[in-house]
Structure 1
Amino acid sequence: MNKILLTLLFLSFLGNAQTNTYNISFENAVHHEAKVNISFPEVKSNTITIRMSRTSPGRYALHEFIKNIYGFKATNSKGEMIDAKRVDPYSWEVSDHDGTVNIEYILFANRGDGTYSQIDETHAHLNMPATFMYAEEFEHRPVKVNFDVREDLKWKVTTQLKEESATTYSAPDLYYFMDSPTEISDFQMKSFDMNGQEIRFALHHQGTPEEFEKYFEDVKRIVEQEKAVFSELPDFDYGKYTFLACYMPNVLGDGMEHRNSTILTDQESLSDGGMKGNIGTVAHEFFHAWNVERIRPDELEPFDFTEANMTGSLWFAEGFTSYYTGLFLCRAKVNTPQEYIEGLSGTFNYVWNSAALEYFNPIEMSYQAPFVDAATSVDPTNFENTFVSYYSYGSILGLALDLSLRQEDLNLDDFMKLMWKKYGKTEVAYEIGDIEETLKQYAGEEFAKDFFSKHIYQSEKPDYENLFRSVGVSIKREADKSYFGADLKKTDDGLEIYRNTFKGSPAYEAGLDSGDIIISLNGTAVTTPEEFRKQIASADGSVKVNYVRFGEERTSEVKLKPDPTYSIKIDPNASKEAVKKREKWLSPK
């Protein structure tokens, strides 16, 4: 939503009685319940549909939030019960009202992350689609919400919504309301000004003010480095951007971007590894304020709250953001260049040693999001061999594009700045072809056509050895190590292969599969992953594996292969020119 539209909506709101009002209270927080009341005034049609969202902004899969709604009631302006008919799993049809429809229900919420809600005596952590029902026909109406906070728990409210009072907030329409997560707790708040806008960090944790102060300094440097890429901040609504950080033992690790805020959750406290462990999510989510919130894929406009939202651009929207995550930690001096370079190895190996690239290019991998983005299913999949995360795939392609551009005395920063000027600042949604056309404009038609034809429309691997060499980085395999190709865990029954074996690996070609219990190697019993690795390391070319499948003991000869794992490190013998390019790449802006 652009700022002109936002202003017009609020001007309309100020003189418009047709405002939907919400109230939520937390008397039974100890049992994870909230009571929600909604009022829809001036209802003209005899029947309206009240429904719960099945999706959440920033997520691409379905989430059936309705399962935690009960005690549903519908009344008119006099408090009299009116007809409410359940028409499908997600909605009720409410009719025979007197022009006002009031809704009441109880919400159970006990998952604190970037998608769901959690209510207990430490906080009310609210993602709106997981909390509030709505009437789709009133999606353009303004919304007011009152949070009936627990004063006995010293709760206060922070959110990107427009503050009307300490507990009452407003939104210009339903989408803005649904896109505005809210943290209600006894949090601490710090902020700083950047170019006339306020960057706020609300922290709900059990740590000390000194820990928060140290962490906040890292946050500020990251914000500064990200702003430097685009030369400006987005125009945040109401001149504010809010980090909603909850580092508590009762939440789950997550991060989720929104238009002028982000949720950050993790069990790891700042004193117990979170000082470094959580800061990467800060870098990732704030970059989304440009890339995905405003430089936005066309398929996500408008966002659908009833069906899964799918786009083929997640390799760019999420993947390139992931590439910059590690880079910003280096530029902000949270991590050293050595930590950053060596940290590339994990993602690199995950992507380029996967058989999944036989089946899907980055665009098609992005289409898998509705099935993997916090989605759950009971039937097993073969994702070990058919799926590579678009976060990782896009990240390692962003690395390749940046290093390729730098060989032409260009860089990814300036390309992203051009995408920002064309599609972000203007808030004109882009299609995949627009990314290629922008790269043609920036780096030339031949360069852009070559990159997209090989690495986006196909799954060809870039020449990383040459790219890394150009910035004084080495990449090599440790071919003297033996490779088996199965993930193992110790169980009461024995050493179990607990996931699908990797296609093309020795274990896969020998017919070993998930669920097999390995008893011995070359006649020597193995009961732990450590014992197994030692036996494989000392094996000479092949190994005889005794295992149990479906209660029957079997034997297979596994022909070992050289370890395909790459190691990425700073090259101590790099040329002066390469070192200079590396410093320019990794140094603060």
Structure 2
Amino acid sequence: MKTSFLILFFYLSLIGFSQTNSYEIFFENAVHHEAEIKVTFPEIIEDTLLVRMSRTSPGRYALHEFAKNIYAIRATDGTGKKLKITRPNPYEWSITGHNGTIHLNYTLFANRGDGTYSQIDETHAHLNIPATFMYAPTLSNRPVEVNFKPREDLNWKVATQLHLVSGTTYSAPNLSYFMDSPTELSNFQLREFQVGSKDNNQTIQLVLHHKGTEQETDEYFDKVKKVVLAEKEVYGELPVFDYEKYTFLACYIPNASGDGMEHRNSTILTSTRSLADGGMERNIGTVSHEFFHAWNVERIRPKSLKPFDFEEANMSGELWFAEGFTSYYTNLILCRAGLITPEKYVEGLTGTFNYVWNSPARQFFNPIEMSYQAPFVDASTSVDPVNRENTFISYYSYGSVLGLALDLSLRVKGLNLDDYMKLVWEIYGKNEVPYTIEDLHKTLNAFAGKSFGDSFFNSFIYKSGMPDYETLLGSVGVALRQYKENPYFGASVKVHDSKGNIQRNVKIGSPAYKAGLAKGDVITAINNKEFEEGQKFDDVIKQYAVGDTLSFNYIRFDVEKTTVVTLEPNPSYKILLSEKEGIIPSKEVLSKRKSWLKVD
């Protein structure tokens, strides 16, 4: 939604174009994690008004049953008469007998500070809107006003992407915008800077709620600025933020839960790590990831996620691109911004690379189908065991290593992923035209040629093929190595009280899997030798060689058993600069590496 349209919308609402749903929220019982909320729905036409809590949250794909945390619900009409409330399902309340106006009051319990839920205590009111406010689906096109009542005794201030009306009252043009507008009330520190051009000058804010010093805030804000400017270079420009402002809402406090969540003109950043205790370096990666979403997801948006559904899980086959390509740029941007070294960036690729390419899950799902799994894995909960170790690869990770492959493949042709992202931005993001997977395929064909685009999508997106990373990485002076002389067992084992406990599902096809070992088995001896106290399982396996056949004694369901395991070559890879392998890249290769990493 363009800024000019938003301003027009608010002007029309002021002159009576549309009735406004209004909210007030109070925090007098913050010590017990409660807020009192008042809602007014005026000029209701229908005899029965259905109100509800959302089951989803923008940026999340799984269901989150926010209705479970509200209670003491009561309703009156415009004259103060008590109204009848019934509950047709777990998520809705039916209100009848009104005179055209409904005043709704309820209590919210909130005690998880992250990008999905809300947290209220005497340190802050950290509000994710879907987890906080009831709404009426039939009135979702109305403007919204909300009056936050900050605790003055705790020096709280208000920070949000919502439009400031006056004082502590803010507004949104409709329900969708309201739901997408997280809000922080606390005694936060504020930093901001201007960036852009004469015709597109934007304010970037850092709202930082932490226990640190002003000096630490300044130092961290300098890192944030470098990230913002490096990401602007990828696309060539900033998005036009509504009200010309983008806000990082950062809570780095002991009672938070680590998370990051993008929104249209703001992002939630939460961590228990203080800036003084490792957060200065470790928290900045979330800044990099979430700000990249200001383009890729918020404006370059999959058609499958527009409009966002607040009542059902949101499934998208494009998350390998929306989340995965964003993940590829996360650490690359930190390298380009000078916040991590090229060596640290390159070696940091190793873990994700091994996770993706050594996973058995590729035999079951391609990247599109992995994306479809989001409603089951994106902060979702279940009590029954699952086999994710063998059947799922995170679309963040899968898309990240595919982004790496595409970038390096394009660079072989004299092109690069930055320019492809620019083209996608120009066609779909800048004008906010929702895209499909076919659109991404078509755009790559136009950018790099039909043969190249078809080959990439047919091999690695519609199927689960593995690109030739050894050649691609070598083209920028990076080595990909396997150390097959090391023995491989294929299960995570923790030794405790001289017994080896298999912690997770055994990887399909591994020596442990072939031997019939499974999660929960307790290994008591290898070749009739018991574990020594304090011994690590991996150190025991390293004593043997590839091809060795070992006798395992183990206990399953209180029954003693034996099996035979034949150790195989370790399939893990290591990624490192070629120089560390004794290979000195040519000037041409070094030039390509510098172009990729944007370093001198």
Q: Tell me what 2:585 maps to.
A: 574
Letter of the structure 1 residue corresponding to residue 397 of structure 2 = S
Letter of the structure 2 residue corresponding to residue 81 of structure 1 = K
Whole-Å Cα distance in 2 between the matches of residues 462 and 529 of structure 1?
41
SS at match of 1:311: coil
Whole-Å Cα distance in 1 between the matches of residues 532 and 13 of structure 2?
68
Whole-Å Cα distance in 2 between the matches of residues 585 and 215 of structure 1?
26
Q: Kindly indicate whether the alpha-carbon contact (under 8 Å) linking 2:498 and 2:531 is maintained by their aligned counterparts in 1.
A: no
Aligned residues: 589
Asked if residue 339 in structure 1 is aligned to residue 350 in structure 2, the reply is no
**What does residue range 402-417 of structure 1 map to in structure 2 within 5 Å?**
402-417=407-422
Distance 1:478 1:9, change over 3 A: same
Whole-Å Cα distance in 2 between the matches of residues 394 and 418 of structure 1?
19
Q: Kindly indicate whether the alpha-carbon contact (under 8 Å) linking 2:498 and 2:524 is maintained by their aligned counterparts in 1.
A: no
- How far did 1:89 drift? 0.2
- Of 198, 211, 216, which aligns to 2:216? 211
- How far did 1:529 drift? 7.9
CA-to-aligned-CA distance 1:494-529 (integer Å, 9 cap, x gap): 431111000111111111111111112222222678
Q: Kindly indicate whether the alpha-carbon contact (under 8 Å) linking 1:488 and 1:529 is maintained by their aligned counterparts in 2.
A: no
Whole-Å Cα distance in 1 between the matches of residues 466 and 387 of structure 2?
22
Whole-Å Cα distance in 2 between the matches of residues 301 and 534 of structure 1?
51
Whole-Å Cα distance in 1 between the matches of residues 50 and 599 of structure 2?
53
SS at match of 1:385: helix
Worse overlay, 168-177 or 16-25: 16-25
Whole-Å Cα distance in 2 between the matches of residues 522 and 276 of structure 1?
46
Whole-Å Cα distance in 2 between the matches of residues 81 and 317 of structure 1?
48
SS at match of 2:323: helix
CA-to-aligned-CA distance 1:24-78 (integer Å, 9 cap, x gap): 1011111101011100011111111000000000000000010001101111112
Asked if residue 472 in structure 1 is aligned to residue 477 in structure 2, the reply is yes
Q: Tell me what 1:453 maps to.
A: 458
- How far did 1:14 drift? 1.8
Whole-Å Cα distance in 2 between the matches of residues 184 and 150 of structure 1?
8
Letter of the structure 1 residue corresponding to residue 592 of structure 2 = K
Asked if residue 400 in structure 1 is aligned to residue 401 in structure 2, the reply is no
Whole-Å Cα distance in 2 between the matches of residues 527 and 385 of structure 1?
31
Q: Tell me what 2:125 maps to.
A: 124
Whole-Å Cα distance in 2 between the matches of residues 252 and 172 of structure 1?
30
Asked if residue 373 in structure 1 is aligned to residue 386 in structure 2, the reply is no
Q: Tell me what 2:553 maps to.
A: 546
- How far did 1:488 drift? 2.1
Q: Kindly indicate whether the alpha-carbon contact (under 8 Å) linking 1:356 and 1:386 is maintained by their aligned counterparts in 2.
A: yes
Q: Tell me what 1:309 maps to.
A: 314
- Of 479, 482, 501, which aligns to 2:487? 482
Whole-Å Cα distance in 2 between the matches of residues 585 and 124 of structure 1?
42
SS at match of 1:106: strand
- How far did 1:455 drift? 0.4
Whole-Å Cα distance in 2 between the matches of residues 2 and 522 of structure 1?
70
Whole-Å Cα distance in 2 between the matches of residues 547 and 481 of structure 1?
24
Asked if residue 277 in structure 1 is aligned to residue 282 in structure 2, the reply is yes
SS at match of 1:421: helix
Question: Identity of paired residues, percent?
Answer: 59
Whole-Å Cα distance in 2 between the matches of residues 300 and 42 of structure 1?
31
Letter of the structure 1 residue corresponding to residue 105 of structure 2 = E
Letter of the structure 2 residue corresponding to residue 481 of structure 1 = N
Q: Tell me what 1:511 maps to.
A: 516
Q: Tell me what 1:587 maps to.
A: 598
Q: Tell me what 1:133 maps to.
A: 134
Q: Tell me what 1:536 maps to.
A: 541
- How far did 1:368 drift? 0.3
CA-to-aligned-CA distance 1:95-148 (integer Å, 9 cap, x gap): 110110111110000001000000011000000000000000110101010111
Asked if residue 559 in structure 1 is aligned to residue 560 in structure 2, the reply is no
Whole-Å Cα distance in 2 between the matches of residues 101 and 525 of structure 1?
72
Q: Tell me what 2:13 maps to.
A: 13
CA-to-aligned-CA distance 1:519-565 (integer Å, 9 cap, x gap): 12222222678432221001241222111110111111111111111
Distance 1:528 1:94, change over 3 A: farther
CA-to-aligned-CA distance 1:144-176 (integer Å, 9 cap, x gap): 101111111111100000012231111110000
Whole-Å Cα distance in 1 between the matches of residues 497 and 40 of structure 2?
56
Letter of the structure 2 residue corresponding to residue 2 of structure 1 = K
Asked if residue 166 in structure 1 is aligned to residue 167 in structure 2, the reply is yes
- How far did 1:85 drift? 0.9
Distance 1:580 1:91, change over 3 A: same
Asked if residue 181 in structure 1 is aligned to residue 182 in structure 2, the reply is yes
SS at match of 2:524: strand
CA-to-aligned-CA distance 1:362-404 (integer Å, 9 cap, x gap): 0000000000000011111111000000000000000000000
Q: Tell me what 1:358 maps to.
A: 363
Letter of the structure 2 residue corresponding to residue 429 of structure 1 = P
Whole-Å Cα distance in 2 between the matches of residues 520 and 531 of structure 1?
13
Letter of the structure 2 residue corresponding to residue 98 of structure 1 = N
Q: Tell me what 2:56 maps to.
A: 55
Letter of the structure 2 residue corresponding to residue 171 of structure 1 = A
CA-to-aligned-CA distance 1:191-212 (integer Å, 9 cap, x gap): 0000221000000001111111
CA-to-aligned-CA distance 1:406-448 (integer Å, 9 cap, x gap): 0000000000000000000000000100001111111011110
- How far did 1:492 drift? 6.3
Letter of the structure 1 residue corresponding to residue 319 of structure 2 = L
Distance 1:474 1:155, change over 3 A: same
The RMSD of aligned alpha carbons is 1.3
Q: Kindly indicate whether the alpha-carbon contact (under 8 Å) linking 2:498 and 2:533 is maintained by their aligned counterparts in 1.
A: no
Asked if residue 243 in structure 1 is aligned to residue 244 in structure 2, the reply is no
Whole-Å Cα distance in 1 between the matches of residues 120 and 335 of structure 2?
36
Q: Tell me what 1:2 maps to.
A: 2
Point out where structure 1 has 5 or more consecutive residues left out of the alignment. none
Q: Kindly indicate whether the alpha-carbon contact (under 8 Å) linking 1:20 and 1:40 is maintained by their aligned counterparts in 2.
A: yes
SS at match of 1:283: helix
- How far did 1:2 drift? 3.4
Q: Tell me what 2:81 maps to.
A: 80
Letter of the structure 2 residue corresponding to residue 50 of structure 1 = V
Letter of the structure 2 residue corresponding to residue 504 of structure 1 = G
Worse overlay, 573-582 or 244-253: 573-582
Q: Kindly indicate whether the alpha-carbon contact (under 8 Å) linking 1:256 and 1:285 is maintained by their aligned counterparts in 2.
A: yes
Letter of the structure 1 residue corresponding to residue 598 of structure 2 = S
